[in-house]
Amino acid sequence: MEIFPRYILLYPGKILHFINTVRAIEQIMKFEDKISKLNEFYFFREFTYSKNKFRKNNGQEVEVADNIIFLDNIFIMFQIKERNLAKKPNSKNEDNWFEKKVQKKATKQIRDTIQYLSDYDEIILNNERGDAFNIATDTITSAQKVVLYSATELLSNDKRRIKYHKSKTAGIIHMLSFESYETIIKTLLTPAEVFEYLEFREQIIIKHLENTNSVSEESLLGQYIVADFGSTPNRKFSDVLSNLKSEIEAWDMTGIIHLFPKRITRTVSRTDYYYILREIAKLMRHELKIFKERFKLSMESSKANKFELPYRFVIPRLNLGFVLIPLCEDRRSNRINGLTNLTLGHKYDQELERCIGATFLHEKDGWFSVEWCFIDAPWEPNSEMDELLKKNFPFRKVNKKIVYRYDVL
C-alpha cells in the first residue's frame, strides 16, 4: 500500500475563483503562445507541455506536437498553425495556405507524434512548471488529436466548415479554428469534460461523416451537453449554449488548485502535490461542486471550533473517494494519525482503490492549514478493519444520489 507523503497547505478564508476573473488571453501574443497560456490556465501548468523536443536513439533532436495535455488517461495533442498575413491576401491564397499547412503539414506532424509515442518507451518532456515526466506511458488508452489554426477573415467558408481530417494511420484528427476552441474550452472549462467532448466529437464524425461539416461547432457542443449521442448533427442544438446555466462559482476549484505549489509549508518533495492535484483535475463540474461544498463546510466547522463528523463522498467512475475532516483546536496534536486512519477507513468502507483525505484547522491569523493524504492500493478484505469500523464507525452514512452535470433552461 502506498501512503504518499502528507503535506500542509495554507489557504485564505475565502475560496478564490480564477475562472471568473481570467477570461481572455492578450491579443498581442503569438498564436502558439496564446494556446499554450489557455491550456496552461484551464488544464493547469502541471499537465501542460509546450517545449516538446526530445532526442531519438540516434541522437537526432525531433519535435512532438506543439502542445500536449497529459493527465493520466487524458491525453490531447495539439498541432498549431497561424496564418501570417500575405502581401496580397485573397481567398484563393488563404485556401491554399489552409490546404498545405493545416490539412497536410499539421496532420502529418500529428501522425509523426503518434509514431514517436509508439516507437519509444521513454519521451521525457518538461511541463510548464519545469518538471520532467515521461509522456510515452501505457496509461494512455485514448489520445485525442487536434489541429488548431488561426486564419484570416478571407479564408473561404468551405474551408472553415471542415471539422476533421480522416487519416488511415491516425484515425480522426479534429480541426478547430481558434474561435471554436475558445468556445469549447470556456464552455466546458474542466480537463475531463474537454477530453470527453473530443471523444464524443470523434464518434459523431465517424458515424456522420457527411453531416458533421454542415453544422456549427456550437451545435456539436450543444448536442454533447444534452447528451444526445444518437442523433444526426443538427443546427437545433446550437441554442443549448445560450440556455446553459453555468453557475461557475458553485463548482470552480481553480483557486484552490492554483494555490497548491504556492502554499505548501511542509513536504518531502516539491512535486508531492501532483498525486492529489492529478485526481482533483480529473473531476467533472458536478463532482467538483460536491467537493467544493464539503471543502467549505469543513472550513466553516473548523473556524467555529465545532466538532463535526468528516464529510465524504465517492466518485465511482474513478474508483476514488474523498474524506474532508474539520478539526477543533484540541485535536491538533492527533492530526497526523487521524488523517491517515480516517482516509484508510473511508477507503476500506467504500471498497475503493484510491482515496484522498484532508484535515482543516483554522489558524490564529485567519488562514486555514489543510493537511492532505493520498492512499493508492487495491482494496482487499481485512478482518481487523472490519472489527474496528464495527466498534467505532467515525463517518456519516454515504447515500447514492444522481447528480446532473449540466443545467439547461
Residues of the chain falling short of pLDDT 50: 21-28
Q: What is the pLDDT of residue 85?
A: 72
Q: What is the pLDDT of residue 28?
A: 45
Q: What is the pLDDT of residues 146-162, one digit of tens each?
A: 999 999 999 999 999 99
Please identify which residue in the block is written with the cell numbers 480522426. 172
Characterise 305 by phi-psi region: left (phi > 0), alpha (psi -120 to 50), beta (else): left
Domain ranges of the chain: 19-243, 252-408
Please identify which residue in the block is written with the cell numbers 507524434. 113
SS3 content of the chain, % helix, strand, coil (to 5): 45, 25, 35
Q: Which residues pair with 102 in a beta bridge?
A: none
Q: What is the pLDDT of residue 11?
A: 60
Contact 328, 306 (CB under 8 A): yes
State whether residue 322 is helix, strand or coil.
Answer: strand
Q: What is the pLDDT of residue 320?
A: 98
d(CA 385, CA 378): 15
Q: What is the pLDDT of residue 355?
A: 96
Q: What is the pLDDT of residue 398?
A: 86
Which CATH number is 19-243 given? 3.40.91
Contact 203, 230 (CB under 8 A): no
Question: N- to C-terminal Cα distance for the chain?
Answer: 46
Q: What is the pLDDT of residue 31?
A: 76
Query: What stretches of 5-84 show up as alpha helix (H) in DSSP?
Result: 18-21, 31-43
d(CA 360, CA 217): 43
